[in-house]
Structure 1
Amino acid sequence: MLKNYLKIAIRSIRRSSSYAAINVSGLALGITCTLLIFSLVTYHLSFDNFHENSDRIYRFVTEQHRDDVTYAPGVPPAFGKQFREDFTYGEAVARLYTTSDVLVSIDQGNDVRKFRESISFADPAFFDLFNFPLVSGDIKTILSAPNNAVITEKMAKKYFGEENAVGKTLRFENTIDFVVAGILKDIPDNTDFRTEIFFPYMTVGKYNEWYARDDAWGGITSEIQTFVKLHQGINPTEVESKLPAYVTKYRPTSKNVHHYKLQPLDDIHFNPKYQGVMEKNTLVILSIIGFFLIFTACLNFINLATAQAVTRSKEVGVRKTLGSMRAQLFWQFTLETSVIVVLSTTVALAFAYAILPMVNQLFETRVQFEVFNNAQLLFFIPLLMVIVTVLSSLYPGLILSGFKPVLALKGKLTNTGNFNIRRILITTQFTISQVLLIGLIVVMYQMHYFKEKDLGFSQEAIVVIPAGTTDEKINLLRDRLAQLPNVQQVTACFSAPASESHWHTSLTYDNRTEPEDFGVSFRGGDEHYISTFGLNLIAGRNIEKADTVREFVVNETFVEKIGVASPEEILGKEIRVNGRWTGPVVGVVKDFHDASLHSDISPIFITTSRENYQSLAIKISMNEAKTTLASIEKTWMDIHPDLLYTYDFVDNLTAQFYQTEETMLTLIQVFSCIALFIGCMGLYGLVSFMGTQKTKEIGIRKVLGGDVTHILWIFGKEFSRLIIIAFVLAAPVGWYLMSQWLEEFVFHIDLSPWIFLVELAVIAVFVLATVGYQSAKAALMNPVKALRTE
């Protein structure tokens, strides 16, 4: 019986190959998206769940209360050591200092190989906390010696090839030599700890003395994080109740009030307040989109199957006359559906394998699509196939198997599926499509706003390169670069005006006894900083050339926060920042955006701080940019032959603020196109059904003098009504969702009516293109042929 069903199913699919191709295409697209979304969601949900006793591992984080509340994924550098000495709550406590883009050198005789890497300084207990096993070395003592290093198998092969890496020397920033004492297994893909080189934390003071000080309670950097594995049965609330004592003891007068908290390990990857990279809401949204895409594909199948009902009516009539039971016919049609689902799934698996590299690049993930090595996928794929088969076959199977044999053989069927149900299905499809299109237009408009908005400083044709190591070399490099052709200006600075590299500090104004209750953002730069970046000086003058901090230029927000009436009033007032820099305010610049448009403009001060000059910013002419960049690199290498050269343009650095939005834009573009494609195939099925149902009506109308335009309107008004209903449903949903999204930005576009009108126009064009051919074909049919179908 099953073999017979299968033969009939294959013959039926061959006979209606065009419908089969549409069904396979629609289902394959839906299944592909669902499989990729499932893989992406399960990948993120698996982050750091492989550590032993992960439910007892926490990270110490900080809520900072000033004039507003901010969140930091770390605590002061001295916190970890002090907590370990004061309390016995922790089975293990470890500090981790992580930094990127540092120089690691390998001396191989006459050849010195240089690399830019991310590295970590870690306490010995780090490997007690986290399950990163060694393939060589003693995990309990590996970070107990000051000059030991631990690297992964991948880094060992990168640096030393097939040689044994243990005992080899790594040089860090041309200052500290470390000996490889252990080799780690390669870091798993599903972890937020991506460092592949570890040095002992006891050595961090040689790199930055403040990070190692026992009295370093004055500030927080996200680069230093502290972790604890609590003893079995310890309540984290009890631990948190002890932490306010540290604030009272070590920060009694600070206006930046710290509130230390414990963050569970399984929250680290998902909590955006503490720099989590993937919100769980995003995973929920992706899952919902995946469901709707596969659901709309199933709706298409239903529409196309019921549209074919009349053409298969005689087949049903003959089978029933020969004794076939309704249940047999139902399972016959179900098997046909399952064959199409199997074909669609096969195509979808091939698509998923092909598209996965692009998905990983888009999301900066390392998702693996290994069906036979992934128990979750092995369970999910058959389950998905069963669900799709049931959803797609249930309604058509019941309709087709329920035909009355006499009426079926005479072609007088009325029970070919409820047309109103198909209207609801099409409306549902296009409601989803229009919500996605509204989102697409809003995100595109907001991204255009990002690119066109005046940020208050110049970012075009400005190259940023490392400054160097000593004051002498920084001055020499700056002077030589300024003499190059097509170099217009050069400034030594801490960072560009808008950058992720900035820090906030305390402020005391005009000899007041108490610090202000807000922090100020530091922008270090020489006397050329303001002119190089095109900042607008609205009061006073520029800072003068100096080797130390002597005077300050501030922005308008700084003036407003202080509470003075005008920029001129603040000129000459003395301020003290960072607890040690004192000098007068000599100028005020117009506000500029110092971070992304998600955030408001911070109060900012600019001053000469040679010790903090990390970069050189070079404004160039773009006429001969390639030659100029080569000259800059050669000049830099002449002065720093022992370092590794890198560069970037300021506008590229600014664009990095909006990588998440760029990813979202790409996703919505893809999902909108897929939803529209699937929805248009559904319309194709519906117009085919209408053409079949209205064959005689069209013939009669034409015989009675109806023209083609009138007959086309029969189809046009039906689909126009459905699209308008879908728009009425989609518009408020789209408005609400995108309003919520735009609220994440302090600076954003307004949701104007034209956005929704453009979306409606786009949908109308797609619908016209989809139904136009079939409608015209039905309208131009010979009326004699139409009337002979009786």
Structure 2
Amino acid sequence: MLRNYLFIAWRNSTRNKLYFLINHAGLAIGMTACIFMVEYANFELSYDTFNQQAGDLYRVVNDRYQDGKRVQHSPMTYSAVGQAMRHEFPEVINHTRVAPLASRILIADDQKMGKQNGMAVDPSFFGMFSYQLIAGNRDLVLREPDEIILSESCARKLFPDVGSNVASLIGRLVNLERSAVPYKLTGICYDVPDNSHLQFDFLVAYSSLYRGGNRYWKSADSSFTESYFYHYIQLKPGSDPKRLEAQLPGFSQRYFRGNKVTGSTEKFSLQPLLKAHLYSDFGAEIGKTGNATIVWGALLSALLILSIAWINYINLATARAVERAKEVGIRKSSGATRTQLVFQFFSESLLSNFLSMLLAAGLIYFVQARFNELVQRNLSIHYVFGEGLQSNSVTFGLLLIILSGICIAGFYPALVLSSFKPVDVLKGKFSTSSRGVILRKALVSGQFAVTIALVAGSIIIYQQMRYAAQKPLGLTLSQVLVISPPQLLENDSSFITRSRSFKEELKNLVHVKAATNSGRIPGEDLHRMFDVHRPDKLSSPRFAVNNMSIGEDFLDLYDIKLLAGRNFRSTDYNEDLSKVRTTLLNESAAKLFGFPTASEAVGKSIILYERPYEIVGVTHDFHQKSIHHPVEPVVMMPNYSLYNPISVKVEPNELTTTLAAIRQVYDRFFPGNVFAYRFLDDQFNEQYNADRVVGKVFALFAGLAVLIAALGLLGLSWLATRQRTREIGVRKVLGASVQNIVLLLSGDFLGLILIAFLVAVPVAWFVMQRWLTGFAYRISINAWVFVAAGGLALLIALITIGYQTLKAANANPVKSLRSE
């Protein structure tokens, strides 16, 4: 019986080639889009789920408040926090501190590798996280201060002759930049999974930070005053994190003396490890972050696309009811039961969806690489069946939705078609029935509502991205080359002199315009200073401001304009930082400290590090980070450091020759160091990568929605004209013009698009308004965006149904009446 059902289903499906193509093309495209988005969503939701104890792991985050205003929101906190929590709270059974060691140089024998990212961690790190070792004992590693672990790829690059046996490297010595004592290699770990928010090339023992009285990390062991560290804690299984959080205000009061140290109050909280990737709005973030709104929005869009495809199937199947009415009447007259007919039509639905799945599988195979480029992820069909949110919830949800869609798309037309009364059908009375018309119209309107909303969203995202690219930043980023600092030198008294000489020689190169040092470059987080205030006002309020050390050419190189006063001079710099006494403010900082105008701030003082600094100048505000973030108060100080990157302004012509010349000068002044560079505008614009992905995905889905809706409209208009052949013939015989016929056939569809427009506009406006709140500086949504989206949908509809309606209107009425 089933074989017979499938045979009849195949024959009916392929009898009309256009109907077959429209149905399966729409379903296949919808399924392909949905599977791609499930790959992406499952990957994003699977971050850190490979950790066996992920459900019990949390990271400690803290907020600082001054005068009731939050001035810091960060997962970076104090080195003593984890130890104190484990001592105070019995539910905390383990903890590890993490100190990032970014862009470091590793040296082994004569091999040097720059730009390696590592972390200093406690020995408990491997007891909490499930990073796997290829070689070494995970229970014993990182217990001594001179131990290091390398990732497999890092180890193979650093020891290129290792061959297949990386375990043979255990015991080898590795230097981390200028480390006085080499590190002993005690472990090789597998490369960190892509879905880990912590990414590293190497790990060193946390105790290395404070061994030998290391003055840079003297507070690394136990401090409640300096916050350069990250903390992860493990709770006893079954513990209530909310109950623990409720005890943290008391914990803060016992251990943190913020009101005495920085003039601020401190509030600690816990963030589940499984939310660290998608739900992070913190500054100074250590890990890879995503956006939950984008993930769920993309998944919803994919389901809407698939729904549009199913709507097409339902509409076309029910609209085709007239053509199959006689078939149903004859089969019922021959003794077929309604149950048999339902199974017959349902088998056709199953066959259509199965064929569409096969076609979708082929599309995925050929398009997967392009989709990966679009979302900047290394995805595969494997992620459809991977775990997200600690379970296969997304995959099960997808399967449930697909099965539900197949059932609905199959059963509804089956029930409609099997309900025909054979007497009425065979008498020809069914042709005037209005069964299902209202539902089909509602579904068509829903299709175009989704299409209009996606098109409008794509236009708004494009406008915001263009605004971000064109908005004046208060500084110039183009043609700026950033060279990594010479990290293999001692930071001795000769460094300032050598650094100045290096920059002067760079300026003498033909195509180099300027060169400077700075503690941070545009696009990076700045250090935060607390308890900054004016000494000339009684009860002066304390402020938290961003701090940035810069060279004397920084303002000129980046075209940052002075509002008042002067730039730094060479005499403002001193290797003894206790003798530095001058500072520059940006306009926001000058206003924060209560100066009515920029000129009135010049010559005044502010208290930094508990001593007065003279304000020698005030600059225009500039965007240190992307327009996601507001411009904040910045205090600039004259300072050179060994770890300051070097910015070089170059001319665009003969860039290869210029780079070679810069490298020659660098190697002469800083022999033995690794020369590495990057272009600043590329690095700065990486802050918009996630937004660009959203824009591309929206544009792709909008295009697919238009295509699928157009296919459905094409099929419906084709069926409508076929079913109204006699009516058109009669109207033409009675004198109706071609224009009258075209308006008659297309009027219903155009009215449905108007309804779709009215539904789509408020929904799209609300969603995109929410998305725009993620930008401190954003566009206003204009009405013309929705008019354009609606106009595009209308144009697509006119083009789609135009051919069919014109063909029907121009047909010979005598021929159509004779055929009836």
Query: TM-score range, shorter-chain basis?
Result: over 0.9
Give matches, 1:29-44, under 5 Å: 29-44=29-44
> Structure 2 length as normaliser, TM-score?
0.89
Contact 1:247 1:257 (C-alpha < 8 Å) held by counterparts:
no
Farther off after superposition, 745-754 or 705-714? 705-714
> Alpha-carbon deviations, 1:346-396, whole Å to 9, x = none?
222333344444444444545442389759498667645532321211222
Residues of 1 paired with 2:729 and 2:30: CA distance? 38
Aligned residue identity for 1:162: S
> Alpha-carbon deviations, 1:61-103, whole Å to 9, x = none?
1011125323101212343345456665532221011233222
**Cα drift, residue 443 of structure 1:** 0.8
Contact 1:310 1:411 (C-alpha < 8 Å) held by counterparts:
no
Q: Describe the shift of the 1:381–1:4 C-alpha distance in structure 2 as closer, same or farther (beyond 3 A).
A: farther
Residues of 1 paired with 2:329 and 2:175: CA distance? 84
**Cα drift, residue 117 of structure 1:** 1.8
2:798 is paired with a residue whose SS is: helix
Farther off after superposition, 433-442 or 48-57? 48-57
Q: Describe the shift of the 1:372–1:428 C-alpha distance in structure 2 as closer, same or farther (beyond 3 A).
A: closer
- Equivalence for 2:97: 95
Is 1:510 paired with 2:510? no
> Alpha-carbon deviations, 1:392-422, whole Å to 9, x = none?
1122212222334355456553347422221
Aligned residue identity for 1:16: N
1:58 is paired with a residue whose SS is: strand
Which of 710, 731, 749 is the matching residue for 1:701? 731
> Alpha-carbon deviations, 1:664-686, whole Å to 9, x = none?
10111111111111111121122
Structure 1, unpaired ranges of 5+? none
Give matches, 1:98-177, under 5 Å: 98-107=100-109, 111-159=110-158, 160-163=162-165, 164-175=168-179, 177=182
Aligned residue identity for 2:458: L
Aligned residue identity for 1:540: G
Aligned residue identity for 2:739: T
Residues of 1 paired with 2:117 and 2:341: CA distance? 64
Residues of 2 paired with 1:761 and 1:775: CA distance? 20
**Cα drift, residue 782 of structure 1:** 1.3
**Cα drift, residue 582 of structure 1:** 4.0
- Equivalence for 1:401: 418
> Alpha-carbon deviations, 1:232-288, whole Å to 9, x = none?
565523652542135544652422322122222233233223457234444432332
2:767 is paired with a residue whose SS is: helix
- Equivalence for 1:330: 342
**Cα drift, residue 742 of structure 1:** 1.7
2:533 is paired with a residue whose SS is: strand
Give matches, 1:626-645, under 5 Å: 626-645=656-675
Q: Describe the shift of the 1:610–1:185 C-alpha distance in structure 2 as closer, same or farther (beyond 3 A).
A: closer
2:788 is paired with a residue whose SS is: helix
- Equivalence for 2:470: 452
Contact 1:522 1:604 (C-alpha < 8 Å) held by counterparts:
yes
**Cα drift, residue 751 of structure 1:** 1.3
Residues of 1 paired with 2:809 and 2:720: CA distance? 12
Contact 1:79 1:217 (C-alpha < 8 Å) held by counterparts:
yes
Q: Describe the shift of the 1:352–1:417 C-alpha distance in structure 2 as closer, same or farther (beyond 3 A).
A: farther
Which of 574, 580, 593 is the matching residue for 2:623? 593
- Equivalence for 2:795: 765
1:622 is paired with a residue whose SS is: coil
Which of 207, 224, 234 is the matching residue for 1:217? 224
Contact 1:468 1:474 (C-alpha < 8 Å) held by counterparts:
no
- Equivalence for 2:577: none
Which of 482, 498, 505 is the matching residue for 2:507? 482
Is 1:669 paired with 2:678? no
Aligned residue identity for 2:469: K
1:610 is paired with a residue whose SS is: coil
**Cα drift, residue 442 of structure 1:** 0.9
Aligned residue identity for 2:128: L
Is 1:519 paired with 2:544? yes
- Equivalence for 2:184: 179
Residues of 2 paired with 1:127 and 1:514: CA distance? 50
- Equivalence for 1:559: 590
- Equivalence for 1:16: 16
> Alpha-carbon deviations, 1:713-736, whole Å to 9, x = none?
223332221111111111111112
Give matches, 1:205-354, under 5 Å: 205=210, 209-210=216-217, 212-214=219-221, 216-221=223-228, 224-231=229-236, 235-237=243-245, 239-246=247-254, 248-249=256-257, 252-274=260-282, 275=285, 277-354=289-366
- Equivalence for 1:430: 448
**Cα drift, residue 322 of structure 1:** 2.8
Contact 1:316 1:403 (C-alpha < 8 Å) held by counterparts:
yes
Q: Describe the shift of the 1:20–1:132 C-alpha distance in structure 2 as closer, same or farther (beyond 3 A).
A: same
Q: CA RMSD of the aligned region, Å?
A: 2.7
Give matches, 1:649-660, under 5 Å: 649-660=679-690
Residues of 2 paired with 1:618 and 1:196: CA distance? 28
1:272 is paired with a residue whose SS is: coil
Residues of 1 paired with 2:219 and 2:420: CA distance? 83
Q: Describe the shift of the 1:635–1:700 C-alpha distance in structure 2 as closer, same or farther (beyond 3 A).
A: farther
2:543 is paired with a residue whose SS is: coil
Farther off after superposition, 615-624 or 156-165? 156-165
- Equivalence for 1:620: 650
- Equivalence for 1:390: 407
Give matches, 1:530-549, under 5 Å: 530-546=555-571, 547-548=573-574, 549=580
Contact 2:710 2:796 (C-alpha < 8 Å) held by counterparts:
yes
Aligned residue identity for 2:99: Y
1:495 is paired with a residue whose SS is: coil
Contact 2:314 2:412 (C-alpha < 8 Å) held by counterparts:
yes
Contact 1:494 1:525 (C-alpha < 8 Å) held by counterparts:
yes
Which of 191, 198, 204 is the matching residue for 1:193? 198
1:623 is paired with a residue whose SS is: coil
1:710 is paired with a residue whose SS is: helix
2:595 is paired with a residue whose SS is: coil
Aligned residue identity for 2:600: E
Residues of 1 paired with 2:450 and 2:525: CA distance? 41
- Equivalence for 2:62: 62
Q: Describe the shift of the 1:476–1:697 C-alpha distance in structure 2 as closer, same or farther (beyond 3 A).
A: same
> Alpha-carbon deviations, 1:18-42, whole Å to 9, x = none?
2222211111121122223233333
Q: Describe the shift of the 1:326–1:669 C-alpha distance in structure 2 as closer, same or farther (beyond 3 A).
A: same
Which of 745, 752, 772 is the matching residue for 2:775? 745
Residues of 1 paired with 2:215 and 2:349: CA distance? 66
Contact 1:467 1:474 (C-alpha < 8 Å) held by counterparts:
no
Residues of 2 paired with 1:15 and 1:256: CA distance? 77
2:76 is paired with a residue whose SS is: coil
Residues of 1 paired with 2:797 and 2:581: CA distance? 68
Contact 2:219 2:226 (C-alpha < 8 Å) held by counterparts:
no
- Equivalence for 2:523: 499
Aligned residue identity for 2:81: F
2:449 is paired with a residue whose SS is: helix
Percent identical pairs in the alignment equals 28
Q: Describe the shift of the 1:473–1:699 C-alpha distance in structure 2 as closer, same or farther (beyond 3 A).
A: farther
Aligned residue identity for 1:756: F
Structure 2, unpaired ranges of 5+? 575-579
**Cα drift, residue 482 of structure 1:** 0.7
1:370 is paired with a residue whose SS is: helix
Aligned residue identity for 1:536: K
2:666 is paired with a residue whose SS is: helix
Residues of 1 paired with 2:299 and 2:205: CA distance? 42
> Structure 1 length as normaliser, TM-score?
0.92
